[in-house]
Structure 1
Amino acid sequence: MVQDSSNLTPEKQLLKLIEEPHSRFSKNAVMRGRGATLFSIGALRGRFNFLKDTLASFLRSWSGPVDTKKINAILTFISIVVGAYFIGTSVFLALKLSVLPVFSFKQESSSKLGALKQASQLKALTFYMEKVRTRDIFKLGKQKPAQAVPQQPGQETAKQAEAMSKYKLVGISWSDNPDAMIEDPAANKTYFLKRGQSLDGVKVQAIFKDKVVLSYQGLEVELR
């Protein structure tokens, strides 16, 4: 005896699909299985219809006749809410992934770097060369300072002039910090001195392009 399909419950219809693989229901099921994925439109529509039929049958068995329009309106509202939730979640994740972190590196100012570089540099090579030139490497030990001998005012001035007269100006190496090449003919030595440096008590007071000013105990002499 063949039962009318309209009087079958959803559970019996599902059982009938399993028992009759060659029926029109099984053919439609096979086509949906081949052409639709888990989240395809066809699969979602099938789930929606199944949920609607199940809910309708439950309400029909519980309270008699059911208003189908109200059920459709409720299910439509639920579908809209769920769809809006998924759309909002997708948009939020897309925006979150599109924003990449920005890494900022703190850069020191050029003045600080320049000061650090200047502090870490060694003294210029000319400083050490001048020390070698002005030092007698063949004489070991520290030189003992000469003892002062009381002199008369006239003799003291003559001694000062004599102390500076033994030097000759050989040349001037001009730059931002010029060097004066001063020769001691008696010792057969040439010294490279800058402004403010001393040689046996004789101080280089000033260096010009054409002359050098020496001072010794308050007396100044020009070398050209």
Structure 2
Amino acid sequence: SSNKEWRGVVVAPFESGQVEAWCRLYSLLSRVMIRSAKDIMEDVGTIPGCIRRETRVELSSRERLAYNSLISIIKRNIILAEGKGSKVDSQIDSLLHKQNVKHAREALMNCRKACCVAGQLNISLVRAHVEECLHDMRRGHRLLDTRCRCNGIAFDVEKGKPREITGRSGDCPLLRGDSMVVPEQRVRTIASAFLAEGFSAG
């Protein structure tokens, strides 16, 4: 590798005091560096000013779609997990949670790549996440809500896999009102859009 060659030709000989290594290093650096000593600068003369060019690259329709889709997913994550009335156990799903620093950094890097036209991003959702969301919409609340007494399957963020919740009474006070229940037609529309083939099984 280039690193191995660099250490063999320059670093190791230089550390052992060989003059040849010093000459190699000087020859290499003299092409890209200028000493700042006063007498050297007088011989060099005025250093040319920095020339900066900025070129804006227009995104194609597919690139705009990929970028906007990525931003929508990030916004949805923050709004649903950090929104008014969110419980502590739901905020752990947020990219702003301290346990999700790695995922937040990855999301920001993906945004940067997308807006810099670094390539087409294949955005995939974990199927278990989508299915849990559909169940929550039909139920009108999350299984991880501290007031919930329903049994079912919820995604464990810390373990990274679904876990079955059992042993609850089933007489859930949150089921007594249906103001938060999403209409079935809308749930089916979302299911058909997000549970297509090719999505991650999770």
**Which TM-score band applies after superposition, normalised by the shorter structure?**
under 0.3
TM-score normalised according to structure 2 size = 0.20
Larger Rg: 1
TM-score normalised according to structure 1 size = 0.19
